[in-house]
Structure 1
Amino acid sequence: MLPLLLASSSPYRRELLARLRLPFTWASPDLDERRLGGEPAVELVRRLARQKAEALAGSHPQHLIIGSDQVAVLGEQILGKPHTFERACEQLLEASGQQVTFLTGLALLNSATGHCQVDCVPFTVTMRELDQERVERYVSAEQPLDCAGSFKAEGLGVSLFQSTHGCDATSLIGLPLIRLVDMLHKEGVQVP
């Protein structure tokens, strides 16, 4: 089996990948993650997932490289990482009572052969009705400033949900393991 490399500095993605009990290393790709003009959200995450894997192929020529990227979509608006307390509160109040769809792009690149599998896994969350006080308490408690949509589904963020819908809950956290296992299998990797 070729060594696995996660093209990400995200601790959330590393924790998820560790669940598969396969040895892996990780490295952060240096990449411009801006959206191209008029680029649909699905194509954005697919492109960025692939580019993250490809960015490390030169320095890791005999690896299976995993790239992933995620955006949250509210209506036609892409919700990125808020980076500030104020923006996190704004995003959550905008999402109050609404459906937010998380699109997670996933790529598995065999840098030895150049073969690359790419997919996008959606997951939808219906948010509870939220008020300013509840939102501020949540953002203060969990500091989800580096999370698309301004919440951590693996933590207190779940208290903001009314319901969820999707085929792979791990995609909500940023690395769809069910789809990744399928991709790894196509590369001859058996997950225990």
Structure 2
Amino acid sequence: MNTKIILASTSIYRKEILSKLQLPFDCISPETDEKALENENAEELVLRLAKAKALAGAKLYQQTSQTNDEALVIGSDQVAVINGNIIGKPLTQDNAIKQLQQASGQAITFYTGLSVINSDSLQAHSIVEPFTVHFRQLTLEEITRYVELEQPLYCAGSFKSEGLGIALFDKLAGDDPNTLIGLPLIKLIALLKCHGLDVLTSQ
């Protein structure tokens, strides 16, 4: 029986990252309420949501699959934290400018929850991976111009590190630069191996 890989996300950035592994995969859009629970911290939030997305994706795969093939379903969620506060997607240019003004000269830690679940057994392996971005001191002119050029309105923290956002930083601190874009590949490879799938020998 074949093992399929399913990404429980419609994020183009996560698709691009997962494509680096050169394994075929399909995408499923999980219907998941992403609101934080009362007194839930950033790490608890992303871990819970990553598990929820993976489980929702596994159940959707069970309902829609035309074969008996098992699948390894990947769920991921990310939030940014500055000065102890969770910051989300800005959605507007004004909010993006405010977020970057707040980040100027500061360190923002991104927490990415990652979960891989077997669609047959519903056994899951999950982790939280941190990554810290140190911003340089930014002028309002620099911030405004950056937001105009890259329109990072749907990115937590109001930047795209894979693009011009790199010009905002002093340094990056973390084990895997893919984490910052939303899918920590090094940890994902390890989680897939926990489920018996070796990325290199499965090619």
Provide the TM-score with structure 2 as the length reference.
0.93
CA offset at residue 59 of structure 1?
Answer: 2.3
Residue 126 (structure 1) aligned with residue 127 (structure 2):
no
| 1:139 equivalent among 134, 147, 153 | 147
Corresponding residue for residue 82 of structure 2: 74
Give yes or no for contact 2:125–2:194 (8 Å, CA) kept in 1: no
1:116 partnered with 2:120: no
User: Could you tell me which residue of structure 1 aligns to residue 158 of structure 2?
Assistant: 150
Distance 1:46 1:71 in 2: 11
SS in 1 for 2:112: strand
Q: Which amino acid aligns with 2:10?
A: S
Partner of 2:66: none
- 1:166-188 CA-to-partner distances (Å, cap 9, x unmatched) read 11111000000000000111111
**Cα distance between partner residues in 2 of 1:168 and 1:112:** 30
Query: 1:154-173 alignment to 2 at 5 Å?
Result: 154-173=162-181
- Rounded to whole Å, the distance in 1 between the matches of 2:153 and 2:185 is 24
Q: Is the 8 A contact 2:55 2:122 kept in 1?
A: no
Between the aligned partners of 1:125 and 1:136, the Cα distance in structure 2 is 19
Deviation at 1:31, TM superposition (A): 1.2
Match of 1:40 in 2: 41
Larger radius of gyration: 2
Secondary structure at the aligned position of 2:47 is classed as helix
The residue that corresponds to 1:64 in the other structure is 72
Flag structure 2 segments of 5+ consecutive residues without an equivalent: 63-69
Moved over 3 A (4+): none
The TM-score normalised by the length of structure 1 is 0.98
The equivalent position to 1:186 in structure 2, one of 184, 191, 194, is: 194
Name the residue aligned to 2:65.
Answer: none
- Give the count of matched residue pairs: 192
Cα distance between partner residues in 1 of 2:60 and 2:51: 16
Q: Contact 2:75/2:116 (CA < 8 Å) preserved in 1?
A: yes
Q: In the alignment, is residue 87 of structure 1 matched against residue 88 of structure 2?
A: no
- Counterpart CA distance in 2 for 1:66 and 1:10 is 12
* Superposed counterparts of 1:99-114, under 5 Å: 99-114=107-122
Q: Distance in 2 between matches of 1:23 and 1:187?
A: 17
Give 1:27 deviation, angstroms.
1.3
Shift, 1:57, TM fit: 1.7
> What value does the CA root-mean-square deviation take over the aligned residues?
0.8
Matched, 1:49 2:57: no
CA distance in 1, matches of 2:57, 2:122: 12
In 2, the alpha carbon distance for the partners of 1:39 and 1:96 equals 26
Partner of 2:185: 177
